[in-house]
Structure 1
Amino acid sequence: MSDAAGADGDRRLRVDLDVDPTGDSGCPIVSEADEAAEVAVNAVGDECVVDVTTPDGEVVRGTGEVDEDCLCHAFGRLGCAPHFRRVEDGTILVTAYVDDRAAVRGLVDELRGVVDRVRLVRLAVVEGPNATEQVTFDLSALTPKQRRGLELAVVRGYFDDDRDVRLRDLAEELGISKSALSQRLRTAQAKLVTDVFDDAER
């Protein structure tokens, strides 16, 4: 059974995070390629072996030394199994399954101690033996530009695991710079996630 649900098929949360490792981390996930469509990690003992599949299909193998500041250890300290999805411009998209929102906060806090930056991209409720996912956000807090950028990203499949659209493609479609769109999406995501946590605490 997947770690998306417990033994009794109980409810869990799927959390997708964008993680920027520190420049001196030596993490082989990002040291081998700035872009990766697929990442396979095998950390055993003191050595980490990573197979990175680049967008053009080339598989690059990298190795690194495992220490307490490694991403895998940060997840492991909280009992989470990280699933590294892809890398874009040196940023790693990683998924984990946790029991509740408090565990999400704990995970983000733990990661902040070992990486340059961590951003919550998606939070989904996963429940039942078939691991059905649901997530609900209130878009009313977003500005029209933020909403348009976010809606375009969703429609074009930018947040999908198997996406084939890039941030620069979306930015060109909107007629803005890649950095402007990146900032717009980060701000929109931050607003939505804050609303989710605020609702949970009421």
Structure 2
Amino acid sequence: MFMYGNYDGLNRRLPIFDIYLGVNYWSTVNINATDMPLLMEVIAYVHGGTVQVCLVNTGSGTPFISSLNLRPLKKTLYPQVNATQGLVLITRSSFGTKKNVRYPDDPYDRVWLPWTMPHSDKWLEISTADNVEDNLESFEVPSAVMRTAITAANTSSPIRFSWDAVRNADHHIPGYIWMLYFAELQRDAVREFYITVNGELAYPRVMTPLYLATDAIYGLRPPT
């Protein structure tokens, strides 16, 4: 966590620096506001039980850090993570809610932020007071996240998410891994839809969410 707060009195020169996990580039810390915290997260395999976090001065202000938290995870929690590949968080979003979710709802203290809907999108919010069971061996998405959702306003309106790839010190065109979580929240409802990434089918079959049970569709390799 990085909270600048103009601690050095150089308010007009907000610092930019790199952060590494051991010898591996993690991300660039780009402070763009004095009063807003910046959260950065990585999920990585730790060799030998020891890890080093390094802040690297790139000539755009003195590096600083406000807090550092470590959470032990099950080896099976994220199937994409192994000895040679980690995951750097871009966003972890919860839909159909205005509340943040983290511990104790999420025993791993992952932070789930409400997705802010663009004004151009017409989505409907749905929810349930019932518990949503997690039938996955991986991810362990909290019921507090899965009890709320969004659905398209009509059958001809797709739900779209997009973001711009940001080049970094290691990758001119970085790759991204996506993970989508589904559960049917309305009894006797039947939904069927396709999932595409960049216009191509990402899942070969029609997706039909299970009633009050979490299911997931996800990528294993990071396409650019």
Which structure has the larger Rg?
2
TM-score by shorter chain over 0.5: no
The structure where strand makes up a greater share of residues is: 1
* Richer in helix (by share): 1
Indicate the structure whose relative CO is greater, using CA pairs within 8 Å and at least 6 residues apart. Answer: 1
